[in-house]
Structure 1
């Protein structure tokens, strides 16, 4: 808790992780300098190298265990909130480039950013894609996992008057 802000949870465990990271960085510099200072076939600085390395390993192991037990364990994602944030992300418009072209995708993105509107609503209001087409095309699971490029876009998802709807025959 906090003495000046009731209900606040102080981030002491993540701060401990930072402190351990700073120590490990310092130990890494110690090992680097000690290894550079070694001469001929004998490095008189091996003891400090070993000490620094093992101290870093021990402190990282202890700090990671503390972080897991006192900070990470018990964290539950707010799946509805996260799913909404993904669906509303303007970056999803990038996936539309091969279907509607860069100019139309950029128009959707710029309009959504300027108005604060969801990209599916913006695309529909601009007459580029319906919300149903957007839902069919922008399935986050499909956009974040490898898929076969030969898989055709569902016919219901391809808007008329686009490059995908009117492919140019190859010669």
Structure 2
């Protein structure tokens, strides 16, 4: 309960600022942890002439998923790499990767499927944001949300893939 309307404004402002700082901090920490993991993976021998990274590993994991939602197998590793980037970092970084791809890497239908599949907000930073937001607004529920965090990450990535699959169905060549 608030003591007055001024108390409500002040507490609301403080909670809002805390949430903004948590968002910034979590994004920085997730990117730093991914960079640390990539540096550790770089100590391993290269695979196919390139160092291992989390994005590459998840790209290999997502290649069959991208094939299953309608991308031809020869294009699936490239699309899977983008989904891996989206899942680990975020969709913005994945879209930058998509924009930087050489022309012809993905055919027009695969490009459309991938564009839609990347649109979901299911990444490691979003899990951290979810937990920190609930922890700020409802501290008693923090543990519950933390336990569901990675499940929501998997479900969110499955939903993102399903979005691409629907586009694959309606654009069947």
Calculate the TM-score normalised by the size of structure 2. 0.26
Higher RCO structure, 1 or 2 (CA under 8 Å, sep 6+):
2
Find the structure with the greater CA-based Rg: 1
Calculate the TM-score normalised by the size of structure 1. 0.26
